[in-house]
Chains A and B, each alone.
Chain A
Amino acid sequence: MGKFCNTERMEVHGADGLLGEVEEAEAALRSAAARDLSGEASFDAIIAADQKIEPRDVMPDAYRKGLIRQIAQHAHSEIIGMQPEGNWITRAPSLRRKAILLAKVQDEAGHGLYLYAAAETLGITREELTDALLSGRQKYSSIFNYPTLTWADMGAIGWLVDGAAIVNQVPLCRCSYGPYARAMIRVCKEESFHQRQGYQSLYVLAQGSEAQRAMAQDAVNRWWYPSLAMFGPPDAESTHSAQSMEWKIKRFTNDELRQRFVDMCVPQAEILGLTLPDPELRWNEERGHYDFTQPDFDELMRVVKGDGPCNRQRMTHRRRAHEEGAWVREAAQAYAKKVSVQ
């Protein structure tokens, strides 16, 4: 084998604890399936009993619509998220890193597929979802509207962006909607793998040459605040939170999750020997948490509305792939029709 640091077995603390929660959610899901209240119990009773709503169950229209919006946004994020990392596959600096990155971006496409399938159980089609993304009616995570300028961004994204995604998504493994919870369990297991690989890749850079180290620090400087913004607006301004908590779609508030992420990252940054770009970052004994500077939420809003550095580029790229692939999809349909007639 070629030369690389022996960081394969290095533990990323925090992420492992979260993975334990994924396993607990999986066990809970199995016991919920065994009890199977559905069919007889009302929506409210199922929610109150912490059981799963399944596609055949009666559910309030707002629950259905809210879930479609959330799952679709999540699926779109996986798909658009392929672009910033896809940007470095052809230039990956070793064959081993190339294989890891290629596999990771492929996983993201797979996540998009599971999530679209989960959304489809709520009575919407892939075509409708694709159309909603391409027309801008549905959003994707703003984090993917930032550019990947150096190779170190692959490490920083894996560590911080996949890390933030895990913190956000682990509680969704216990979400009240069965198909979403099941999709999230699969997704979270892979995301934790991504986070570990990103962290290791960044670790190698941080221990490397002066230029590599500078590249790693610069990437962390650029990705830190956008990663904090991934948890959404502060609780006081969050529009969907309260109802989602009541329906057990969401289990923690945006601010709680953001704090959890910061608390997880600080010791990891210390092991990396890299500095998180926040002079206010310090342990607060009284709270039992780190104090930190909030991300710029005005910037988040500008990016959500379409004026981030790469919004236009990402959407143009996606539309172009879709449009230039139209003749291929039509051919597949036409051929399937011919075969079924024969």
Chain B
Amino acid sequence: MTPLELADDALVAAQRLSEWVSRAPTLEEDVALANIALDQLGVARLYLQSLGDEDALAYGRSDAEFRNCQLVELPLGPSRGDLDFGWTIVWLLFLSAAQKIRYTQLAAAGDEIAAKAVKESSYHLDHALEWTVRLGDGTEESHLRAQAALDELWPYSHELTEGIREEWLSVVEPVLAKATLAVPSTTWAPSGGRNGQHTEHLSYLLAEMQSLHRAHPGVMW
């Protein structure tokens, strides 16, 4: 993956996660999700800074110029309008497992930003993994919700894990088994984010994120 792809995955994920602030099921979880959002934002900034002016890149590009995978732009609980924490947990499980694998590979190849990010992504993965098991094997309702999220999100995992699918499955499948969740059988595998072809959701996300910055061109904040 290119630095821009890594940056955009992390930036868009941070934007989605930060929507949860003040809305999580517990106060502890509010702190945890904000923390993960901050980590994602931190990595995004480092990669963007390695490419140029971070704000010009974050606020100046249109949706078609973003190179994130489609998974990260999908609305989470708050922007879906239902505050479904289970959906966010499955999303985070997918994302953090993939990020941990990629950062580990890149760190081994001498990428210093990735080296810093590996530790954070293992924490994110642990967090997502523990919650996946709790929800999958918790109550009947939580099991149904987690399975529904898994079914809906699974197709988007293909683009996320391009080139690392086997390794990713070897992390995720045992977690799903422990959580008594079934691996979906669908073979649908939407993609295009890496070429700038996104879902309808990204341009709304960017409209919100970029509105103020674009209303005042050229000033300092």
Chain A residues with a Cβ under 8 A of chain B: 1-5, 79, 82-83, 86, 89-99, 102-103, 105-106, 109-110, 112-113, 116, 151, 201, 204-205, 208-209, 211-212, 317-318, 320-321, 324-332, 334-335, 338
Q: Which of B22, B137, B138 is A317 in contact with, Cβ under 8 Å?
A: B22
Question: How far, in Å, is A150 (CB) from chain B's closest CB?
Answer: 9
Residue in B closest to A332 when the chains form the complex, CB atoms:
B134
In the complex, A321→B85 CA distance in Å? 10
Instruction: Give per-residue flags for B19-51: 1 if the beta carbon is below 8 A from chain A beta carbons, else 0.
Output: 101111111111100110110011011001100
On whether A327 and B22 interact (CB within 8 A), knowing A109-B27, A109-B31, A112-B27, the answer reads: no
- 16 further A-B contacts with Cβ under 8 Å, apart from A79-B22, A331-B139, are A2-B54, A82-B30, A94-B55, A94-B59, A95-B55, A95-B58, A96-B221, A103-B34, A106-B34, A106-B35, A106-B38, A317-B23, A318-B22, A325-B25, A330-B142, A331-B141
- Which bucket holds chain B's interface residue count? 35 or more
In the complex, A98→B35 CA distance in Å? 13
Instruction: Give per-residue flags for B177-221: 1 if the beta carbon is below 8 A from chain A beta carbons, else 0.
Output: 000000000000000000000000000000011011100100111
In the complex, A185→B49 CA distance in Å? 36
Question: How far, in Å, is A285 (CB) from chain B's closest CB?
Answer: 39
Please name all residues of chain B whose beta carbon is closer than 8 Å to the beta carbon of A332 when the two chains form the complex: 134, 138
Question: How far, in Å, is B161 (CB) from chain A's closest CB?
Answer: 27
Residue in B closest to A78 when the chains form the complex, CB atoms:
B27
Please name all residues of chain B whose beta carbon is closer than 8 Å to the beta carbon of A321 when the two chains form the complex: 22-25, 83
In the complex, A102→B19 CA distance in Å? 10
Interface residue? B70 (CB, 8 A): no
Q: Which of B18, B22, B28, B142 is A113 in contact with, Cβ under 8 Å?
A: B28
Asked whether B25 lies within 8 Å of A328 as measured between CB atoms, the reply is: yes
Interface residue? B68 (CB, 8 A): no
In the complex, A1→B34 CA distance in Å? 23
Please name all residues of chain A whose beta carbon is closer than 8 Å to the beta carbon of B29 when the two chains form the complex: 325, 328
Residue in B closest to A88 when the chains form the complex, CB atoms:
B212
What are 24 residue pairs bridging A and B, where the CB atoms are less than 8 Å apart in the complex? A3-B220, A89-B21, A90-B18, A93-B59, A93-B213, A93-B216, A94-B59, A98-B41, A102-B18, A106-B31, A109-B31, A109-B34, A201-B221, A208-B219, A209-B216, A212-B216, A324-B84, A328-B86, A330-B139, A330-B142, A331-B138, A334-B142, A335-B138, A338-B137
On whether A95 and B135 interact (CB within 8 A), knowing A2-B54, A90-B209, the answer reads: no
Interface residue? B82 (CB, 8 A): yes
Residue in B closest to A89 when the chains form the complex, CB atoms:
B18
Q: Which of A5, A83, A97, A320 is B83 in contact with, Cβ under 8 Å?
A: A320
Asked whether B221 lies within 8 Å of A97 as measured between CB atoms, the reply is: yes
In the complex, A115→B191 CA distance in Å? 47
In the complex, A201→B182 CA distance in Å? 49
Interface residue? B127 (CB, 8 A): no
Interface residue? B133 (CB, 8 A): yes
Instruction: Give per-residue flags for B125-143: 1 if the beta carbon is below 8 A from chain A beta carbons, else 0.
Output: 0000000011101110110
Asked whether B137 lies within 8 Å of A335 as measured between CB atoms, the reply is: yes
In the complex, A105→B27 CA distance in Å? 12
Residue in B closest to A329 when the chains form the complex, CB atoms:
B25
On whether A93 and B138 interact (CB within 8 A), knowing A106-B38, A209-B216, the answer reads: no
Asked whether A94 lies within 8 Å of B45 as measured between CB atoms, the reply is: no
Asked whether B49 lies within 8 Å of A93 as measured between CB atoms, the reply is: no
Asked whether A324 lies within 8 Å of B83 as measured between CB atoms, the reply is: yes
Interface residue? B104 (CB, 8 A): no
On whether A102 and B41 interact (CB within 8 A), knowing A90-B15, A334-B138, the answer reads: yes
In the complex, A106→B85 CA distance in Å? 18
Residue in A closest to B143 when the chains form the complex, CB atoms:
A331
Residue in A closest to B84 when the chains form the complex, CB atoms:
A324
Q: Which of A82, A91, A96, A317 is B208 in contact with, Cβ under 8 Å?
A: A91
Interface residue? B166 (CB, 8 A): no
Question: How far, in Å, is B81 (CB) from chain A's closest CB?
Answer: 10
Q: Which of B23, B54, B59, B134 is A331 in contact with, Cβ under 8 Å?
A: B134
In the complex, A106→B78 CA distance in Å? 17
On whether A204 and B220 interact (CB within 8 A), knowing A325-B25, A328-B25, A328-B86, the answer reads: yes
Question: How far, in Å, is B74 (CB) from chain A's closest CB?
Answer: 16
In the complex, A58→B85 CA distance in Å? 43
Q: Which of A82, A93, A95, A324 is B212 in contact with, Cβ under 8 Å?
A: A93
Asked whether B213 lies within 8 Å of A2 as measured between CB atoms, the reply is: no
Please name all residues of chain B whose beta carbon is closer than 8 Å to the beta carbon of A116 when the two chains form the complex: 27
On whether A151 and B212 interact (CB within 8 A), knowing A2-B53, A102-B37, A331-B138, the answer reads: yes
Most buried by A among B21, B44, B54, B55: B21
Please name all residues of chain A whose beta carbon is closer than 8 Å to the beta carbon of B18 when the two chains form the complex: 89-90, 98, 102
Interface residue? B158 (CB, 8 A): no
On whether A95 and B28 interact (CB within 8 A), knowing A327-B139, A332-B134, the answer reads: no
